[in-house]
Amino acid sequence: MLLDLLGVVYDGDTPTTGAADTIQRLRDAGLPLRFVSNTTRSPRGKIIAQLAAMGINVADEELLTPARAAVEWLRNHDRQPHLLVHPDLEAEFSGLQGGNRRAVVVGDAGEGFNYANLNRAFRELLAGADFVALAVNRTFKDADGQLSLDTGAFVTALEFASGRSPVVLGKPSPDFFLSALADLDCPAADAVMIGDDAEGDVAGALRAGLGAALLVRTGKYRPGDETRFDPAPTALVDDLAAATEWIFSRAST
């Protein structure tokens, strides 16, 4: 079972209703869990500490982030990163030796998405650097409860101006979903994804071959999202608890 974090397990700084109990129930039932987050603003340690403070214990190997996937990609391709990411995330990219060739890595830079930084990244792309996107999400539900511009908008801006297409390392990249299952010995067809993003979480997981993907009405969900993207969610449910009910009811039939 793969769970998105923001909008599914927590919303802003608080867990969604019943999230901690539901996750405990899943663990008690012996279901292997992986948390797949496109939140590229926080470092891994902070995410795990934040979850612990909400009463949800997640082991390091259970958490998949695009930053971790990107570090692996940079190592495998022998590239030095040009980072356009949140300052808090920069430390995760330290210690990369890298060759002479560079790769522009774009994450949720937040206020770092200003003209000067975007233009520097654009010029790196024109000069031949590779182009790595940690996510291509259009929007996220901000702390004030409203939707805000997410990484995908800025990745698209760079793509439009440079004529270059990014390698996407977070959701909805099929590789990202499959890497989350890699050490579970679980065929994709037996896995279920739960998310609040009908495009990145749900359609992405189904395209990667997962057996089911449930869309929750929490987080950034807006009425009509369930018909907005292809493939459509296997089911639309209220929240994480309802998603878990859906899974248990299926498992028992």
Continuous H helices in the chain: 19-28, 44-53, 66-77, 115-126, 151-162, 174-181, 204-207, 240-251
Q: Is 60 in the site for its own copies (CB under 8 A)?
A: no
Q: Which is nearer to its own copies, 156 or 179 (CB)?
A: 156
Closest approach, Cβ 140 to its own copies, in A, equals 10
The counts of H helices and E strands in the chain are 8, 14
Tell me whether residue 52 or residue 161 sits nearer to its own copies (CB atom): 161
Report the residue number, 152 or 195, with the smaller CB distance to its own copies.
152
Q: What six digits make up the tokens of 40?
A: 């590229």
Rounded least distance, CB 174 to its own copies, Å? 21
Do the Cβ atoms of 56 and 33 come closer than 8 Å? no
> In the window 130-159, what residues touch its own copies (CB under 8 A)?
138-139, 146-150, 152-154, 156-158
Torsions phi, psi for 140 (to 5 deg) = -140, 155
Alpha helices for 127-239 (secondary structure H): 151-162, 174-181, 204-207
Least distance from C-beta 136 to its own copies, angstroms? 9
Asked if 221 is part of the footprint of its own copies (rule: CB under 8 A), the reply reads no
Residues at the contact surface with its own copies, assessed by CB under 8 A:
109-116, 118-119, 122-123, 126, 138-139, 146-150, 152-154, 156-158, 160-161, 163
